Homo-oligomer: A and B are copies of this chain.
Amino acid sequence: MSDSQFHQKILWINPVATDIFDKPMLEMFQDVKAPFTRVDVVSFPPIGPKHLEYSCYEMMIMPELMKTVRRAEEQGYDAAVIGCFYDPALRAAREVANKMVVTAPAESCLRLAATLGDTVSIIVGRRKWVPEMRENVHKYGYKDKLASFKVLGMGVHDFQKDHEETKRQILQAAQEAVEKDGAEVVVLGCTIEFGFYQEVQRRVGVPVLDATIAPLKYAEYLIGLRNQFGWGHSKIAGFEAPPEQEISEWSLFE
């Protein structure tokens, strides 16, 4: 398929030092993207953290993330998605992206969840993740909509090991969320929980949002708005771009 068929290009960034998720995600994105969207998936050089469960791991990949976002803009991407449910460096990426739009899983899932229902539960791997994610829930404005966090007791690299077992556990947590905690919508709170939403959704009977698909589609939506109406990130305060002179003087993103 030639490049000219695509009106828009999205870069999905797996901000980890492993490419093992790139291919399955790319395959999945082929099924879910709009026909005129091209999606590329990148991850980082193999020296560094292979997951971001710890905030200090997040911090170690930040320069690579910034450079990747900057390069994406130079390469004409219309959007970048930061593929981690902590939404790492979302503000910083939006500063860097003058034309591109940038989004991330938690933001896109939560805004959507708030339209689909009154309350939401987020299914996460470990208790460790909860405080940072809860901060984001509050920051985005959804404190009053949070029914619960459900902790599976699994690490990022456990989710795709034994599909049946992971599905069983997610399903049980989702059912508890809906029946005991009052959730009307369930969010899978890790991008590596991909591949499970459909069956869980079918079984629990409420929307179950996948943390890879939701931001990808939100990116497509935001691209359209920016292209047609000029509704991109406001650049006068919180997402103001740094001066090019400083960037070049300090060789910042090279």
Contacts and interface: CB of A to CB of B under 8 A. Distances in A.
A163 interface: no
Contacts of A53: 242
A252 B48 contact: yes
A139 B112 CA distance: 15
A92 B59 contact: yes
Interface string A181-213: 010110000000000011001000111011001
Contacts of A229: 32, 197-198, 210, 213
A249 B22 CA distance: 22
Given A111-B114, A184-B237, A233-B116, A251 B55 contact: no
A20 interface: no
Interface in A145-176: 145
A103 interface: yes
Interface in A217-254: 217-218, 221-222, 224-225, 228-242, 246, 250-253
B232 A116 contact: yes
A138 B139 contact: yes
Contacts of A130: 182, 237-238
Contacts of A239: 117, 184
Nearest to A178: B236
A200 to B, nearest CB: 11
Interface of A: 17, 32, 34, 47-50, 53-60, 62-63, 65-66, 89, 91-93, 95-96, 103, 107, 111-112, 114-119, 127-128, 130-132, 134-135, 138-145, 178, 182, 184-185, 197-198, 201, 205-207, 209-210, 213, 217-218, 221-222, 224-225, 228-242, 246, 250-253
A5 B183 CA distance: 39
A107 B115 contact: yes
Interface of A is mostly: helix
12 contacts: A32-B229, A56-B89, A57-B242, A59-B63, A59-B66, A116-B233, A130-B182, A131-B238, A138-B138, A178-B236, A205-B236, A207-B230
Contacts of A49: 246, 250, 252
